[in-house]
Chain A
């Protein structure tokens, strides 16, 4: 009998009396069940989040209905700020430029990242880590430093034009950032170069968790590298793909520093973007209401786009 009792689970051993005594401390629930104390832990980050994100967000929303200079009382103008920037070709143009930048900031780096991940994970060569590090480098260096460097690369007398001349493609030489047609793609190419490293690293991490047995099975079935990529790698990376596309898309929509440093929105208004217009309206022109309206619109677009991508790409829970 004694031996049997010892083998009983701990909860059974405790006498009913002791259990009742302690009941104020241990509610009758299993470990891992929700407890009210959790709200206290959540309160701290929530308060910080509320103070620095939610409250300013609500304020911006409020301000976007006013014509406001930033100091004296604003005038209620309803939706006029939203309406006026749909009519303003410069602000409308800034949203259109964003569409072009999405190709460069999101689609191209994602494709390059996938390609590099597929290559680097298949190859068994010495110094692989070195290659990975080198390829990842653009992502970890400060944007502004890189933007200054690329401005120099794009200079009319810079390395890019010198190179083009050197290989007999002199007719392609142009003042890249000063050209009305090429300035925006030039900023975009820089963006793609900045972003692909991040995509690559996430994909490489994803590829590593795909079981080797799946590749073996594919090979047994006679799959070549391309089939393998389509049938094994790509489906295995759906989560990573969602993350990468959402994050790079947000980067594309919120581009600011590249434009600020490289072109200042020029030539003319060929490279203005919404975030740049927010800064311009709020800090240079004293139109805080209009700036808030652009910001709120940008936020709604980011929400909608992220939600859409998640819906389409994220694997459904089985």
Chain B
């Protein structure tokens, strides 16, 4: 997948980077994940303690995503690798 946006810069993912996403992995606390929330697909870091989960951006500014009944978090995969272009 190709990344669009800057909210994951501090996690090493910049606008235009190519992400290798492994669908077979089970997302665990601290993983950078691809997930669908309310019909939109986002790339965020997974925060997970017991049954409680949320999706956090890496920039400290963008608001956390909390699942609710109307908009559950549906995991798509775990980002395993980032490919960067050095030529822009």
Partners in one complex: no
